[in-house]
Amino acid sequence: MPALALGGFGIGLTEFVIAGLLPQVGRSLHVSTAAAGWLISGYALTVAVGAIAVTAATAGLPQKPVLVGLVALFVAGNLLSALAPDYGVMMLGRVVAALCHGSFFGIGSLVARRLVPPERASRAVATMFAGLTVANVLGVPFGALVGERWGWRATFWAITAIGAVALVAIAVLVPAWAGAKGGGADLRTQLRSFRSTQVWLTLTATALGYGGMFGAFSYLAYTFTRVAGFSTTDVAWLLMVYGTGLVVGNIAGGRGADRDRDLTLIVSLAGLMTTLTVFGLLASSRPASVILVFLLGVFGFATVPGMITRVTDAAGGVPLAASANVSASNVGNAVGAWAGGLVISAGWGYAAPLYVGAGIVGVGLGVMGVAVWVGGVVGGGSGVGVDGASDRASGEATGDGEIVETKGP
């Protein structure tokens, strides 16, 4: 499990670290701020597409070698970024690194579940995602610190080294039996899992939950400085408060989902909607902003472990569904940021994205309520997955989409 978390940490650094390096990268590669910003957007779009495409391309292959290959791809992408002589090669490095992102977390979450007893399934997923949440806390300041002292290329060399260590750790520490089989007999079998209404409802709730949170998060720097009156130098530590909330929410969400998954998801989405609404009302208060940005992280990431286990159980355990969940979150991020930008452009102020985010999450909460009602599941911790699939963390999909138990040696 620590090996998977380390891989998640490196991948998370790659995603977040660029934000603190954009000015340096832009000057070094002689591109505009807008062009440099595409190093972030291009990564996110590649994650959204690559999560499904790469997982589909590796359907049926043993999952441990696939994970090792994905981390090797991550290493290659960051090595390209570290060596990039121009903007084109830099963008290529970002795209190559992003290709591994969604599939790593999708396939890795299934491997992680096999390493623990069934009743700890969501906590296993949370442990793997812990690396990503810690990277969110440390990513921007880490990149800024290393970049300022040794140059932005040194940051990507450091991430390349972390990726190499993670590659070795996964190859050595992840048991062969945990990733010995593919997620289904073939791609057609995996695609059949998307006939499930529960899969689509859960993916929709994921996109809306993430969209609401990140739609507001994308403009928090402006909310802090233009509404609350913080200085620009305060933004870094305020974002670390948010990142700390992500870590707490990830842990709490994993534990809660193992007890009662659907209740945890509904409470988390309701808490996120309430936090965004109150944040909008109290955005001009500095003390309230500090508390609320922490709660934004807590409730926002508390949904992640439960959403992953819910969608994979609904799909009969196939990795394509888990990767699709990562794609859905990235699509939600893009749509949420777009919606937040619209209300700012319309002159509604820098607190407006918080209200927009609350509305988007509110729709997601409604979708999750429908999913629970349609599935006839009062609580996700009952041990019975949606659509009749067994909620066994150690399950593996057969060619017919049925989950059968896979045990260790």
HEC string of 362-386 equals HHHHHHHHHHHHHHCCCCHHHCECH
Residue 382 has pLDDT above 90, yes or no: no
Q: How confident is the model at residue 336 (pLDDT cuts 50, 70, 90)?
A: confident
Greater confidence (393 vs 285) lies with: 285
Choose the weakest-confidence range: 13-22, 249-258, 395-404. Answer: 395-404
Residue bearing the bigger pLDDT, 209 or 173: 209
Q: Please answer whether residues 111 and 67 qualify as being in contact, where contact means their C-beta atoms are separated by less than 8 angstroms.
A: yes
d(CA 42, CA 212): 21
Residue 64: pLDDT band (50, 70, 90) is: confident
DSSP 86: S
Asked if residues 65 and 179 have their Cβ atoms less than 8 Å apart, the reply is yes
Contact 351, 138 (CB under 8 A): no
Q: What average pLDDT does the segment 241-270 reach?
A: 93
As a whole number of angstroms, the distance between CA 319 and CA 404 comes to 15
- Cα distance between residue 192 and residue 26, in whole Å: 45
* Residue 34 Ramachandran class (φ > 0 left, ψ -120 to 50 alpha, else beta): alpha
Cα–Cα distance between 134 and 139 in angstroms, integer? 8
The domain spans of the chain are: 2-405
Torsion angles phi and psi, residue 390, rounded to 5: -70, 135
Between 140 and 119, whose confidence is greater? 119
Read off the pLDDT of each residue in 69-83 and give the average, rounded to a whole number.
Answer: 94
Q: Which region among 97-101, 130-134, 253-257, 258-262 has the lowest average model confidence (pLDDT)?
A: 130-134
User: What is the predicted pLDDT for the residue at 248?
Assistant: 93
Residues 353 and 215 sit within 8 Å (Cβ to Cβ): yes
Average pLDDT for the chain: 82
Range from 22-36, 85-99, 332-346, 389-403 carrying the lowest mean pLDDT: 389-403
Output 338-342 pairs: Cβ under 8 A, ≥24 positions apart: 338/215, 339/211, 339/215, 340/215, 340/216, 340/218, 340/219, 341/218, 341/219
Spatial distance between the Cα atoms of 243 and 297, rounded to a whole number of angstroms: 6
The whole-model pTM stands at: 0.76
Which of the following CATH numbers is that of domain 2-405: 1.10.10.60, 1.20.1250.20, 3.65.10.10, 3.40.50.300? 1.20.1250.20
Rounded-to-integer distance, Cα 252 and Cα 249, Å: 5
On the question of pLDDT at 4 being above 60, the answer is: yes
Q: Report the half-sphere exposure of 408 (CA within 13 A, side-chain side).
A: 12
When pLDDT is averaged across residues 292-296 and rounded to a whole number, the result is: 96
Average pLDDT of span 212-230: 88
DSSP letter at 397 equals E
Q: What percent of the chain has a predicted confidence (pLDDT) above 70?
A: 88
Six-digit token string for 322: 């888990």
pLDDT tens digit sequence for 169-205: 988 888 877 655 554 546 777 788 788 899 999 999 9
Q: Specify the higher pLDDT residue, 275 or 64.
A: 275
Percent of the chain with pLDDT over 90: 37
Q: What is the mean pLDDT of residues 207-215?
A: 90
Q: Please report the pLDDT score of residue 106 as a whole number.
A: 80
Cα(312)–Cα(304) distance, integer angstroms: 12
